[in-house]
């Protein structure tokens, strides 16, 4: 009996103690919202501060604008990198030639007789062969699967099935280095691509390009090879074609191509930014790039009122060919060409 009483008494004591202890209430939602609001305000303040710093530093908001700004800064660095060693400008191109177009005199040469892949510089020869054939410029050519690049897998904005005039294809090939356009031009040549490549090599031979070989009309194959000296001959010949002079120096070009429902416009910018620079007087222009060839640029341009042929091959870095063109121009305008610049094999540091 006593045992039962004490047991019940213990139970009552436990219950009393439990009721006497303070109950832990769940936290209200209000402190959580408050903390969240503070965090949002803090992040908003940080974002405003970041935007203010960006605006103060001149950093544009859009991705495209930032990309353009970074490109301009890279170009500015290239422009500032001007050195003359032993009276010669230090270039980042492995092969280079500058020739006085009026006299044929060699003004500057760096590895002028070594063959190297020439990438899309090839398209100047493509243009000459197309124009030599006197094919109708307004003839419509339909882009096909056969024009797709399965070698380097480069992309194209020119859709398969699009019907474009030969003239527009020539514009795209020379201005934007459009590979699919160049491929379509060679395919539409009488006798097809095989006959086209034969005509390219015959043209090279007639120009005295004895160390040059062409295997396609795009330049995508690294087997398209030439020397800087040979390319100077090709640029000089290209200058005699009014159409090449006009087309290759355009800063941009728009064409209409069929879309799913109607025609839409494609805008192409010249791959040589100097064609949009009013400080340059350019008569012929073509750029080129594949991994094996590096960054290449050939031009006919006037510097100090003197017409020159400029060839720059295998430049290090995306903007180096433009930088080298400006370095040569600065060197020439400074009147430092007291002797022909001739370099031994290899790049300058």
Domain CATH code at residue 135 = 3.40.710.10
Give a yes or no: residue 21 inside a domain.
Answer: no
Q: What Å distances lie between residue 320 and 30, 165, 250, CA to CA?
A: 61, 34, 21
Q: For strand 306-315 and strand 294-303, is the pairing parallel, antiparallel, or unpaired?
A: antiparallel
Choice among 3, 32, 56, 120 that is catalytic:
120
| DSSP state letter for 118 | -
Query: How wide is the angle at C-alpha 288 spanned by C-alphas 210 and 97, nearest 5°?
Result: 50
* DSSP, res 213: B
Query: Which phi and psi angles does 84 have, rounded to 5°?
Result: -120, 125
Q: Which pairing describes strands 106-110 and 341-343: parallel, antiparallel, or unpaired?
A: parallel
Report if residue 2 sits inside a domain.
no
CB 99 within 8 A of CB 106: yes
Residue 309 lies in a domain: yes
CB distance 219 to 180 below 8 Å: no
Active-site annotation holds for 123 = yes
Q: Please, which residues have CB within 8 angstroms of residue 16's CB and are 6 or more apart in sequence? A: none
123, 212, 285, 286: the active-site residue: 123
Is residue 165 included in any domain, yes or no? yes
- Total domains in the fold of the chain: 1
Is residue 41 annotated as a catalytic residue, yes or no?
A: no
Residues of the domain holding 313: 82-343
Measured between alpha carbons, how far is residue 275 from residues 44, 245, 247 in Å? Answer: 44, 12, 11
pLDDT of residue 182: 98
In a domain, 34, yes or no: no
Mean pLDDT by 10 residues, the chain (349 residues): 53 53 45 58 64 58 66 59 89 97 96 98 98 98 97 95 96 98 98 98 98 98 98 98 98 84 86 95 98 98 97 94 96 71 44
For residue 246, tell me if it sits in a domain.
yes
Asked if residue 24 is part of any domain, the answer here is no
Active site residue 42: no
- Report pLDDT for 41: 58
77 found inside a domain: no
- Given the residues 93, 177, 186, 212, select the one marked as catalytic: 177
CB 146 within 8 A of CB 187: yes
Residue 180: the pLDDT is 98
Kindly report whether the global pTM for this prediction surpasses the value 0.85. no
């Amino acid at each position: 009996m006593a045992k039962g009483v004490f047991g019940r008494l213990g139970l009552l004591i436990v219950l009393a103690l439990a009721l006497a202890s303070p109950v832990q209430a769940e936290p209200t939602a209000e402190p959580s919202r408050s903390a969240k609001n503070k965090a949002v305000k803090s992040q908003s303040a940080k974002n405003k501060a970041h935007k203010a710093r960006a605006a103060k530093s001149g950093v544009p908001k859009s991705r495209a604008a930032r990309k353009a700004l970074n490109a301009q800064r890279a170009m500015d660095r290239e422009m500032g990198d001007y050195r003359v060693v032993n009276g010669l400008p230090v270039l980042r191109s492995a092969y280079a030639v500058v020739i006085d177009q009026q006299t044929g005199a060699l003004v500057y040469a760096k590895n002028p007789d070594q063959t190297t892949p020439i990438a899309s510089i090839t398209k100047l020869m493509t243009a000459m062969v197309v124009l030599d054939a006197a094919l109708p410029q307004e003839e419509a050519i339909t882009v096909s699967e056969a024009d797709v690049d399965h070698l380097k897998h480069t992309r194209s904005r020119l859709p398969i099935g699009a019907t474009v005039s030969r003239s527009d294809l020539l514009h795209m090939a020379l201005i934007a280095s459009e590979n699919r356009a160049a491929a379509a031009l060679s395919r539409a040549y009488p006798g097809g691509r095989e006959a086209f490549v034969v005509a390219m090599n015959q043209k090279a031979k007639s120009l005295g390009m004895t160390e040059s070989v062409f295997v396609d009309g795009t330049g995508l194959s690294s087997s398209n090879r030439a020397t800087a000296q040979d390319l100077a001959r090709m640029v000089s010949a290209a200058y005699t074609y009014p159409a090449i002079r006009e087309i290759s120096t355009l800063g941009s070009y728009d064409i209409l191509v069929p879309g799913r429902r109607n025609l839409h416009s494609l805008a192409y910018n010249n791959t040589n930014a100097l064609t949009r620079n009013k400080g340059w007087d350019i008569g012929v222009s073509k750029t080129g790039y594949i991994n094996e060839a590096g960054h290449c640029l050939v031009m006919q341009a006037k510097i100090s009122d003197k017409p020159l042929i400029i060839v720059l091959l295998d430049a290090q870095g995306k903007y180096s060919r433009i930088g080298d063109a400006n370095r040569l121009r600065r060197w020439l305008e400074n009147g430092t060409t007291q002797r022909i610049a001739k370099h031994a094999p290899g790049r300058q540091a």
